Amino acid sequence: MTVGDIAAARAAAARAAADGTFVMPRTVRTARLTLTQLGNHHTEDFVRFYGDEAASGYVGGPADAAGAWFRLAMYAGQWALHGFGHYALHDASGEFVGFAGLWFPADWPEIEIGYAIVPEARGLGYASEAARAVSALALELGAPSVVSYIHPDNEASKQVARAAGAVEEGPVELGGKPASVFRYPVEEAGAVPALDEDAADAAWEVAAMPFTIRTARLTLCQWRRDHFDRYAAHHGDAASKRFTGGALSAARAWRQLAADAGHWTLRGYGVYAVEVEGRLVGAVGLHRPLGWPEIELVWSLAADARGDGYATEAARAVRAVAAEQGMKSLASFIDPADAASLAVAGRLGAWPDGAVAIDGREAVVHRHPMDVPVATEAAGSLHASL
- Can you give the residue ranges of every domain in the chain? 3-203, 206-385
Q: Across the strands, what pairs with 280?
A: 275
Evaluate whether 3-203 and 206-385 have a shared fold.
Answer: yes
Q: For 3-203, which CATH superfamily applies?
A: Gcn5-related N-acetyltransferase (GNAT) (3.40.630.30)
| Ordered strands of the 271-276 beta sheet | 351-358, 361-367, 331-334, 296-301, 279-287, 271-276, 219-221, 212-214, 377-379
Mean pLDDT of 301-324: 96
Give me the amino acid identity at 85. G
CA 195 remoteness from chain centre: 23
Kindly indicate whether the domain formed by 206-385 is annotated with CATH number 3.90.550.10. no
pLDDT > 70? residue 220: yes
Structure confidence at residue 192 (pLDDT): 62
Query: What is the pLDDT at residue 1?
Result: 62
Do 229 and 235 touch, CB atoms closer than 8 A?
no
Contacts of 4 (CB under 8 A, 6+ apart): none
For the four alpha carbons of 161, 106, 200 and 17, in that order, the dihedral sign comes to negative
Q: pLDDT digit string (tens) for 150-195?
A: 999 999 999 999 999 999 999 999 988 999 999 998 865 556 666 5
pLDDT band at 269 (very low <50, low <70, confident <90, very high): very high
pLDDT reading at 373 higher than 80: no
Q: Output the DSSP codes for 228-257.
A: HHHHHHHHT-TTTTTTTT----HHHHHHHH
Please state, in angstroms and rounded to a whole number, the distance separating the CA atoms of residues 117 and 127.
7
Per-residue pLDDT tens over the stretch 36-81 = 999 999 999 999 999 999 999 999 999 999 999 999 999 999 999 9
What is residue 354's predicted lDDT score, i.e. its pLDDT? 94
Q: Is the pTM of this model over 0.85?
A: yes
Summarize pLDDT for 8-30 with one digit per residue, the tens.
Answer: 888 888 888 888 778 999 999 99
The pLDDT value given to residue 200: 41
> Over 60: is that where the pLDDT of 375 sits?
yes
- The three-point CA angle 108-114-116 to 5° equals 145
Over residues 198-216, the pLDDT tens digits come to 444 434 334 589 999 999 9
b/e map of 138-149 (b: 16 or more CB within 10 Å)?
bbebebbbbbbb
Q: Please, which pLDDT band fits residue 380 given cuts at 50, 70 and 90?
A: very low
Cβ(213)–Cβ(48) below 8 Å: no
Cα(386)–Cα(221) distance, integer angstroms: 8
Do 334 and 353 form a contact (C-beta atoms < 8 A)?
no
- Nearest 10 degrees: CA dihedral of 156, 158, 160, 162? -150
Average pLDDT of the residues in 114-126: 97
Lowest-pLDDT range, 238-247, 305-314, 368-377? 368-377
- Write down the pLDDT at residue 367: 97
Q: What is the pLDDT confidence band of residue 244, given thresholds at 50, 70 and 90? A: confident
User: If pLDDT is split at 50, 70 and 90, which confidence band does 361 have?
Assistant: confident
Cα 29 to Cα 91, 113, 206, 386, distances in angstroms:
10, 17, 23, 28
The confidence score (pLDDT) of residue 198 equals 46
The answer to whether 102 and 85 have CB atoms below 8 angstroms apart is yes
Residue 315 pairs in a beta bridge with none
- Tell me how far apart the alpha carbons of residues 148 and 168 are, in angstroms, rounded to a whole number: 9
